[in-house]
């Protein structure tokens, strides 16, 4: 790899430190020239906003983002669903940094609209194959030992529109059915210690307190492993659209199972075969059969810059940025290709690298103004490698909606604009 190459290329850390590509000669920042004529708010002039008093405290008792960030919002695709009450919107992952999703930007997925529940009237009922059927108030739940964990929540349909080809031109619409927050709550296994469990209990039914009564079956091994009942996200009470005052957390498994506004857990000896695990959230295979109970969200990654919403606007040194995750554990490595998968470069992954949590990666690269085909490929701690769409289609065909974790391709055009494309 040579600096004289006319092609764009990835830069490893040693090259970056040793190289004249470092910021000074790459022209990222302008040197100070007092004689420069520019906008009146630019140095060396005093900006206009230094000449008057700003707002005092309490103008916004609950703080809001800067007015200049008003484009950073959840968005939906109106033609995807018939009604807003049973619909989905998308997290603007292309605008986010680090690995925490702000509460107000966490994508929404409702089946009967948002339930509005007075926490004083909230109850969680546990029944079925337990020693003691019990009803808990929110305060009762908060008396259990507390657990604080970061987990990603991904809808099984994230990327579901892309099975047959590139369809939606944006990071937000192809990857945005995901968020990553810190949950505060109690382990379900601790609640079960209180109710007791009959030996014949092999499954549970988790039922929501929304108008859809959304319900899913979960095997007992998962329930007692790491599932939680939570009442807070990122340090504050759950937002109404995320299940206030309490929801189920099913780490690494498809978002539909993370029952919001949870009102009841019944233990039984077989799965309950609800609508949401028979007619929906199954995977239609090429032989006409449908796979049920495909729960785990396999390793996946997305490049958020450059991306359709974040084009390249100048040649030279840039920091590629993205997110990776795996429902089976920690991210071990993320590779990025700038040439459609011919050559791969190992990125820098940024800690904390947590179990079943979004993980941030970056990679410096030099853009010469040529076309690039940008891809990311995640590898998790089990050794699982994120597949190409061809590899996935060989097993699954093209009739699936859910569980598309294939490698996506962003085409960077010579003018710096970026498109979602399908190779081959």
Contact residues: Co ion, CB under 5 A: 156, 254, 294, 402
Q: Which is nearer to Co ion, 10 or 206 (CB)?
A: 206
| Of 148, 153, 152, 151, residue with least CA distance to 185 | 148
Closest contact distance (angstroms) between CB of 399 and Co ion is 14
Q: Which is nearer to Co ion, 163 or 402 (CB)?
A: 402
Question: Which distant-in-sequence residues (6+ apart) come within 8 Å of 28 by Cβ?
Answer: 316, 317
Q: Which is nearer to Co ion, 145 or 288 (CB)?
A: 288
Closest contact distance (angstroms) between CB of 252 and Co ion is 12
Closest contact distance (angstroms) between CB of 298 and Co ion is 10
Separation CA 402–CA 280 (nearest Å): 10
Closest contact distance (angstroms) between CB of 295 and Co ion is 6
Q: What per-residue string of b and e applies to 94-132 under the rule 16 or more CB within 10 Å gives b?
A: bbbeebbbebebbbbbbbeebbebeeeebebebbbbbee
Extended strands (E) in 194-289: 203-208, 215-219, 228-233, 236-237, 247-249, 262-268, 283-284
Which tokens belong to 290?
């449908």
Q: Which is nearer to Co ion, 100 or 292 (CB)?
A: 292
Separation CA 177–CA 93 (nearest Å): 9
Residue-level length of the chain: 424
* Pair 263, 293: CB distance under 8 Å: no
Q: Which is nearer to Co ion, 22 or 292 (CB)?
A: 292
Q: Which residue has the closest beta carbon to Co ion? A: 294
Q: Which is nearer to Co ion, 219 or 240 (CB)?
A: 219
Which tokens belong to 406?
């294939």
DSSP characters over 153-198: EE-TTTTGGGSSS----SHHHHH-SEEEEEEEEEEHHHHHHHH---
Which tokens belong to 393?
């289609």
* Pair 375, 415: CB distance under 8 Å: no
Closest contact distance (angstroms) between CB of 285 and Co ion is 13
* Pair 215, 206: CB distance under 8 Å: yes
Closest contact distance (angstroms) between CB of 385 and Co ion is 20
Closest contact distance (angstroms) between CB of 402 and Co ion is 5
* Pair 380, 346: CB distance under 8 Å: no
Q: Which is nearer to Co ion, 99 or 107 (CB)?
A: 107
Separation CA 143–CA 53 (nearest Å): 47
Closest contact distance (angstroms) between CB of 224 and Co ion is 21
* Pair 124, 135: CB distance under 8 Å: yes
Closest contact distance (angstroms) between CB of 324 and Co ion is 20
Q: Which is nearer to Co ion, 360 or 396 (CB)?
A: 396
Q: Which is nearer to Co ion, 91 or 294 (CB)?
A: 294
């Amino acid at each position: 790899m040579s600096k004289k190459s006319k092609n764009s290329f990835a830069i490893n850390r040693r090259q970056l430190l040793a190289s004249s590509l470092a910021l000074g000669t790459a022209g990222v920042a302008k040197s100070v020239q007092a004689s420069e004529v520019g906008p009146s708010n630019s140095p060396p002039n005093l900006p206009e906003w230094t000449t008057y008093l700003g707002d005092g405290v309490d103008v916004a008792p609950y703080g809001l983002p800067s007015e200049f960030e008003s484009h950073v919002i959840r968005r939906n695709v109106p033609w995807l669903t018939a009604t807003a009450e049973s619909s989905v919107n998308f997290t603007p992952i292309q605008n986010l940094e680090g690995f925490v999703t702000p509460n107000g930007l966490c994508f929404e997925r409702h089946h009967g609209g948002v339930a509005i529940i007075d926490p004083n009237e909230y109850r969680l009922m546990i029944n079925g194959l337990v020693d003691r059927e019990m009803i808990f108030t929110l305060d009762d739940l908060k008396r259990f030992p507390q657990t604080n964990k970061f987990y990603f929540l991904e809808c099984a349909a994230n990327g579901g529109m892309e099975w047959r080809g590139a369809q939606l031109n944006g990071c937000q619409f192809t990857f945005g059915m995901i968020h990553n927050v810190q949950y505060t709550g109690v382990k379900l296994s601790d609640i079960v210690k209180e109710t007791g469990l009959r030996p014949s209990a092999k499954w549970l039914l988790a039922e929501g307190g929304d108008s859809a009564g959304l319900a899913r079956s979960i095997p007992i091994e998962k329930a007692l492993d790491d599932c939680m009942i939570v009442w807070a996200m990122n340090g504050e009470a759950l937002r109404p659209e995320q299940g206030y005052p309490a929801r189920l957390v099913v780490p690494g498994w498809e978002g539909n199972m993370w029952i919001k506004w949870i009102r009841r857990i019944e233990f039984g000896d077989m799965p309950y075969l609800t609508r949401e695990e028979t007619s929906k959230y199954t995977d239609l295979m090429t032989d006409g059969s449908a796979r049920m109970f495909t729960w785990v969200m396999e390793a996946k990654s997305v490049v958020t810059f450059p991306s359709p919403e974040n084009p390249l606007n100048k040649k030279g040194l840039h920091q590629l940025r993205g997110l990776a995750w795996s429902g089976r554990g920690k991210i071990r490595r993320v590779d990025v290709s700038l040439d459609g998968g011919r050559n791969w470069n190992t990125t820098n992954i940024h800690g904390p690298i947590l179990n079943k949590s979004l993980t941030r990666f970056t990679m410096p690269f030099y853009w010469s103004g040529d076309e690039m085909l940008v891809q990311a490929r995640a590898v998790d701690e089990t050794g699982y490698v994120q597949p190409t769409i061809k590899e996935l289609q060989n097993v699954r065909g093209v009739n699936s909606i859910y569980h598309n974790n294939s490698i996506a391709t962003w085409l960077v055009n010579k003018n710096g604009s970026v498109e979602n494309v399908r190779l081959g």
